[in-house]
Amino acid sequence: MSDTPQASPDGTDITMVNESHVKAYQETNGETGYMWNGATALLFTHKGRKSGKMRTNAIIFTQVGDRYAIIGSVGGSPKHPGWYHNMIADPNVEVQIKGEKFAATARVADSPEREELWAEAIKQWPNFDTYQARTDRKIPVVVLERK
């Protein structure tokens, strides 16, 4: 991870959005990067729908039972994240939580599951509600389920 934290306009450390977070997480089996701004983070690897290249992202997650929920917020951007479109095209992903890696299938949560997972996610990262207020799109909740 970078020695100098990057910050968003609201002061939130945004270093998770860069490759150094992913690299540090991978190299330390999550010792560096699993906890980020008080929230838990995982890595997921997915295939680019246009390039066919494998891409790895770090993201805040919330575990509810045997489900791992991730939120496609992009800080309240008007567009869904690229990874979301990639998962729609190919829902087969690899997940890393600390040192554990496993194959998973991604799916978009529908109501009422979406609201249940959203409520749990904002307990960990209240900014998700702020992000939703910034955009007209319904921010997707994606469930990663072990294969």
73 touches 129 (CB < 8 A): no
User: Domain limits at 136?
Assistant: 15-146
Cα-only R_g, the chain: 14
Is the bond into 140 cis (omega within 30 degrees of 0)?
Answer: no
Cα 51 to Cα 29, 61, 95: the distances in Å are 28, 26, 20
Residue 18 is predicted with a pLDDT of: 75
Is the residue at 94 inside a domain?
yes
| Interval 56-96: pLDDT, tens | 999 999 999 999 999 999 999 999 999 999 999 999 999 99
Output the domain CATH number for residue 98: 2.30.110.10
Q: What is the pLDDT of residues 7-56, one digit of tens each?
A: 444 555 455 557 889 999 999 999 999 999 899 999 999 999 999 999 99
Q: Does 36 map to a domain?
A: yes
Q: The pTM is what?
A: 0.88
Domain count along the chain = 1
**Residue 10 maps to a domain:** no
User: In this model, does residue 6 exceed pLDDT 50?
Assistant: no
